[in-house]
Amino acid sequence: MLINSKPEILAPAGDTPAFLAAMAAGADAIYLGLKHFSARMQAQNFSLTELSRLTELAHSENRRVYIALNTLLKPSDPLPAGRLLARIARFSPECLPDALIIQDPGVGLIARQAGYSGELHFSTIANVTHTKALAIAQNMGASRVILPRELSIDEVKTVAAACPSDLELEFFVHGALCWCVSGRCWWSSYMGGKSGLRGRCVQPCRRVYKQKGKEGRFFSCFDLSLGPLTKTLLDIPQLSSWKIEGRKKGPHYVFYVVTAYKMLRDNPDDPQARKEAEAILSMALGRQTTKARFLPQGQLDPTRNPTHTQVGAEQTSSGLFCGRLKMEDDPSQTQFKKGKLKKGERPQDIKVARFILSPRFNLIPQDYLRIGYEDEPWHATQSVSKVLPKGGTLTFTIPRHKWPKNGTPVFLIDRKEPELMALLKDWNIKLDKFKGEAPEDVDFRLDMPSVARSEKRYEIYLQANIPQGKATRRALRSNSFMGLWLGPKPLQELSRTLFGRISWWLPPVIWPNEEDRWALLISNAIRSGARHFVCNSQWQRAFFPTGDAKPEGLSLSLGPFVNLANAFSLQSMADLGFERAVISPELAQEDVLSLPHQSPLPLGIVLSGFFPMGISRHTLDPLKAGELFASPKKEAFWSRRYGENTWIYPAWPLDLTEKRNELEKAGYSFFVHFEENIPKELEVQRTSSFNWDIELL
């Protein structure tokens, strides 16, 4: 536990060079992923032998190592995850990592069965967003909670003031930002089964979108960089860790960023140190930077540079802008004019062209360059083979099918300076002294939770607005509930005689500045006769009375936004007092049908309706809410602003109604229908089965 000491600098590592760069720069702790169950599966990640060697090296230098085991676990994952943890638990103390970073609270139950005795840190993907959540997280075994990136400094202080005395907090100070709230994004998964919750995100938010003449990367965020503003975090004793994002980054980035933040932490009042740190960060090869929502008076849109007014027009690609490409000559026209075309050859038959770059700064051998953006057809990468001075000429020979537009930007995305390479060589020599451990497979068995059964079946029709007529009458039928989003308006306008027959839904995210208001709304609803509530975060359990104070008939369920997908996550929810749960909507058919046979809670599923692809605290300026916008592939979407959050919807609804009989036979006891107010211009032409028919990666 690090409370009341100087905050640690926590560095990312996606491979061994990045790990050693963090060590060389003086990081206090390093977090990394393994070959499985990591939320950055595109990173190289580590084997158990590599993990043990690196941990032993780190411990010999009085540094700490954390394993990010922070993915959503499918129904078949708990046993292999348990076996992995059982092997790690058998490491000697010198090689045993200090903590697990987890998204799924069920992983904590699995880890303890496996014999792992280290700390549990709840990932930012676990969505601990308000103060009442902290005590529950601690009771579930957490020794540290990683706060959302969307909090302002005032909100960080509010959360810290309410933090239990022996619980630590961790906060991101630098690195990539997602437009959606961590743990509340299904965008990549809905577009093809590559789940961000399982470390496979393809970043559809980075693409160009259009709406009625407006075009831009409206969801593509700059990198967070608090820089000298981290001084304001130093007087928060519960905030024990400054976290740097970047497990897909190279050693250059890791070394530079760790060096800069160590300098800012250790010399907060030194103007020269601040100036040097800012210069170092400018060369870290990240994106343009933003303070996002950190300063409450700023509340900046993270997709926009504050010095510009046009949202989404600027580049938000990773790397240092190096210059723009220019075609040396159009080869088809040049050869046509000079009469150099071969017999029968046409100008369009020319297969290659030369493009030139005049860099804005010196390039050195092994500099790694990226041409354009990842979603463009000419996107490519290339290494530099020799020293090239600022203003020199670098030539690219590019085949016709990859010809970029004139003016396409080029970015420096990785660099291997001789000085850094020499440092890494020295640290490799140190690492060679440690052979590591590779425990063999163990005879490990999981004690599975008891399985719940429920014969009662019913529907929940979740309304976007206060319903009238037919929709209201649903609340009077024995096999259905009218679902309503809890808020002041329905509490004021609906008859109290209906309150006990309504399924009251809480939002997927509650922020610190909303906490008191939600506590009052829930209290008023209960006092008015409401008894059936659906929490869309497990932490919302803290808003409801327990024990003798619990009203008769009070029933708490969990909604689909909690991402429940395996027996152990469901068991952890049963331990909190929840009575039933809606499963994660992104599971594939095999997972969906197998889960009721393992679940300690009666299960429901979203059967139809417009389920959001993502939820964000940021506003969507300049796109207009309620109007369609389109991706480069002509896919249509729309947005709504609900309270503090923006919801993004696909223009085609989820529909599993044809699977109803299979789901009932599998054991599902209730079915949810999302009834949303769709844009007037939207003509629904297709539906989606989400990942039912494809494998969830």
Please give, one letter per residue, the 3-state secondary structure of 519-576. Answer: HHHHHHHHHCCCCEEEECCHHHHHHCCCHHHCCCCCEEEECHHHCCCCHHHHHHHHHC
How do residues 134-165 score in pLDDT, each as one tens digit?
999 999 999 999 999 999 999 999 999 999 99
| Position 336 confidence tier, pLDDT thresholds 50, 70, 90 | very low
Mean pLDDT of the chain: 91
How do residues 228-240 score in pLDDT, each as one tens digit?
999 999 999 999 9
The highest-level CATH class for domain 458-611+653-675 is alpha beta
Region 564-585 average pLDDT: 97
| Position 130 confidence tier, pLDDT thresholds 50, 70, 90 | very high
Region 549-553 average pLDDT: 94
Residue 337 has pLDDT above 70, yes or no: no
Region 496-523 average pLDDT: 96
Nearest 5°: the CA angle 129, 132, 136 is 95
Lowest mean pLDDT among 153-162, 441-450, 502-511, 641-650: 441-450
Tokens of 370: 């990226």
Q: Tell me what pLDDT residue 41 has.
A: 55
Q: Tell me what pLDDT residue 258 has.
A: 98
Within the chain, which residue ranges are assigned CATH 2.40.30?
320-414
| Position 308 confidence tier, pLDDT thresholds 50, 70, 90 | very low
Residue 484 has pLDDT above 60, yes or no: yes
Structural contact between residues 149 and 531, judged by C-beta atoms closer than 8 angstroms? no
d(CA 1, CA 33): 22
Q: Tell me what pLDDT residue 468 has.
A: 63
Region 554-577 average pLDDT: 98
Q: Tell me what pLDDT residue 328 has.
A: 83
d(CA 257, CA 435): 29
Residue 525 has pLDDT above 90, yes or no: yes
Region 502-512 average pLDDT: 97
Residue 4 has pLDDT above 60, yes or no: no
- pLDDT more than 70, % of the chain: 91
Region 166-191 average pLDDT: 95
d(CA 254, CA 58): 16
Within the chain, which residue ranges are assigned CATH 3.20.20.70?
8-177+222-285+420-431, 458-611+653-675
Residue 671 has pLDDT above 90, yes or no: yes
Residue 339 has pLDDT above 80, yes or no: no
Q: How far is CA 537 from CA 4, 86, 107, in A?
A: 30, 29, 17
Residue 254 has pLDDT above 90, yes or no: yes
DSSP state letter for 388 = B
Three-state SS for 1-13 is: CCCCCCCEEEEEE
pTM for this model (two decimals)? 0.93
**Read out DSSP for 109-120?**
HHHHHHT--SEE
| Position 288 confidence tier, pLDDT thresholds 50, 70, 90 | confident
Helices (H), 250-318: 251-266, 271-282
Q: Tell me what pLDDT residue 309 has.
A: 46
Structural contact between residues 105 and 570, judged by C-beta atoms closer than 8 angstroms? no
Region 431-439 average pLDDT: 90
Residue 345 has pLDDT above 60, yes or no: no
Rg (CA), the chain: 27
| Position 27 confidence tier, pLDDT thresholds 50, 70, 90 | very high
CATH architecture of the domain 320-414 equals Beta Barrel (2.40)
Can you tell me whether residue 290 is helix, strand or coil? strand
Structural contact between residues 435 and 647, judged by C-beta atoms closer than 8 angstroms? no
β partners of residue 241? 8, 170
Lowest mean pLDDT among 349-363, 411-425, 602-616, 637-651: 349-363
Q: Tell me what pLDDT residue 353 has.
A: 86
| Position 313 confidence tier, pLDDT thresholds 50, 70, 90 | very low
| Position 43 confidence tier, pLDDT thresholds 50, 70, 90 | low
Q: Considering only CA atoms, which of 270, 256, 346, 331 is closest in space to residue 22?
A: 256
Q: Tell me what pLDDT residue 170 has.
A: 98
Three-state SS for 573-603 is: HHHCCCCEEECCCCCCHHHHHHHHHCCCCCE
| Position 419 confidence tier, pLDDT thresholds 50, 70, 90 | very high
**416-420 — which CB contacts under 8 Å span 24+ positions?**
416/251, 416/252, 416/364, 416/365, 416/366, 416/367, 417/252, 417/364, 420/21, 420/24, 420/251, 420/252, 420/255
Q: Where are the beta strands (DSSP E) in 64-138?
A: 64-68, 99-102, 119-122
**275-282 — which CB contacts under 8 Å span 24+ positions?**
277/227, 277/228, 278/227, 278/228, 280/256, 281/174, 281/225, 281/227, 281/256, 281/257
The highest-level CATH class for domain 8-177+222-285+420-431 is alpha beta
